[in-house]
Amino acid sequence: MVLDLVSHNEEEGKIEFHLDALSELLEPHKEKLISVISISGAFRTGKSFLQNWVLKYLECGSAESFSEFLQNEENAEETVSGFKSIRTREPVTDGIDIFSEIFEFEHSVHGAVVVVVLDTQGIFSMNSDYSESVAIFAISLLLSSMQLYNIRGNMTRNDLEHLRLFASFGKMIMEMNPTAELTPFQHLAFVIRDWDLDDELGLEAGTNILLQTMQDCSDSEEGAELVQSIKTSFKKLICSTMRHPGSCLRDEDFEGQLGRMDDEFRTTLEELIPYVCNDSTDDSGSCPVIKTDPMENNMTCDDFIEQVNMLKEVFESGQIESPESLYSAYSKVSHGKAKMDEFDDKVKCYQKETWNIYDSAPKLEASEMEEELRKNLSERMEEDIENQRSENLNREALFDKTWQARCACFVATCACCTACACK
């Protein structure tokens, strides 16, 4: 079953967020770390079909059992399911869907990680609304720790152009925080489907094509700047080429039966999917990439919901195409979180110290009163903490206004400098 995270409101003619389903899904796992695997790309290019293979991997639980599944001839008639993937001319996926089952992996250093899989509607195709495409792409990419970007046939400069918003946002994050070590975005894997232009298949061949496209794009100053920002904004950029799955796609009852797909497609699937579902950049063993914020702090399910909420607000204010608004929203969350973490640490110290004072104070023996006295002291502390917490929130709201003003000022200064430099 899939749940809506973003869908079209037909009456209002625009997309809207649904946070309730996500919050309910993640409620039992709030404190656990999260990993989010999402996909975007043009309409009708087999995105949902590929995400169903990601789901199959997560069900298998490891690269070994996924390989075993693919190689076992007894599985020839096994199907894949999850997101709706059908043969029709009309677009199928609407907005952004979440698969209703979440998977749990054990990271060897960080412990339990909850894995969420998203699927998105087609974007940047003929007849699609450009602003809506940008919004869907931004939401999908900003929410994911591993983002697949589906392309059909060949990779062109245009595919890199679609990353311009993120390149500007990433550049802004780094320019505003020159001394910090930051990674604005995590993993991005281009997947070139129906590759037929030579016989080089898989991750190595695809990544060479990506590097070549970046080099071609760098022949103008503007293109070189775009490529440089893309390279520095993402923690990992890779690409894979894949063949067409074969004539099986025309079978009415085709639902991913292994035995019917061409061998070459199956081989690239066996390489790509474990790569997408494993963080090869650390020693996690076999855990998908944990979602981090731009400061590289691991995010919990609770942090994730907060990030979705923040994006919803930016989207509803009509500012999702603006790197400045994204920056201001992200900095607000990061300041709020840092303050809350610090506050919670202080609260723990304060409580411990208070109980130490209480326990060590000389008291007349009155065991029947002890319980009530402890209860009163505990309630009094909770009250003080809550008062302090809401005072902090008020201060934070004031800080936000000042911060927005500072951002606006920075943007104005940048615009002014650019204008002067152009003279």
Ligand X SMILES: Nc1nc2c(ncn2[C@@H]2O[C@H](COP(=O)(O)OP(=O)(O)OP(=O)(O)O)[C@@H](O)[C@H]2O)c(=O)[nH]1
Binding site for Mg ion (CB under 5 A): 47-48, 92-93
User: Which listed range, 82-90, 127-135, 309-317, 327-335, lies at the site for ligand X (CB under 6 A)?
Assistant: 82-90
Closer of 85 and 325 to ligand X (Cβ): 85
Q: Any idea which residue has 């890199």 for tokens?
A: 160
CB of 183 to Mg ion, least distance (A): 29
With binding defined as CB under 6 A, does residue 244 bind ligand X?
yes
285: DSSP letter: S
User: Which listed range, 90-98, 168-176, 197-205, 271-279, lies at the site for ligand X (CB under 6 A)?
Assistant: 90-98
List the one residue from 72, 87, 386, 413 that touches ligand X (CB under 6 A).
87
Quick one: how many helices (H) and strands (E) in the chain? 12, 9
Is residue 203 within 8 Å of residue 239, measured between CB atoms? yes
Per rule CB under 6 A, count of chain residues that contact ligand X: 20
**Residue 410 and residue 392: Cα distance in Å, rounded?**
26
List the one residue from 82, 95, 122, 274 that touches ligand X (CB under 6 A).
122
With binding defined as CB under 6 A, does residue 44 bind ligand X?
yes
What is the DSSP annotation of 107-161? ETTTEEEEEEEEEE---SSTTS-HHHHHHHHHHHHHH-SEEEEEEES---HHHHH
CB of 150 to Mg ion, least distance (A): 10
The interface partner of residue 304, options being Mg ion, ligand X, none and the CB cut-off 5 to 8 Å by kind, is none
User: Which listed range, 47-55, 101-109, 337-345, 389-397, lies at the site for ligand X (CB under 6 A)?
Assistant: 47-55
List the one residue from 29, 47, 171, 291 that touches ligand X (CB under 6 A).
47
Local structure of 284: helix, strand or coil: coil
List the one residue from 40, 85, 133, 183 that touches ligand X (CB under 6 A).
85
CB of 191 to ligand X, least distance (A): 9
Closer of 100 and 247 to ligand X (Cβ): 247
What is the DSSP annotation of 196-252? -SSS--BHHHHHHHHHHHHHHHTTSHHHHHHHHHHHHHEEEEEEEE-----GGGGST
Amino acid type, 197:
L
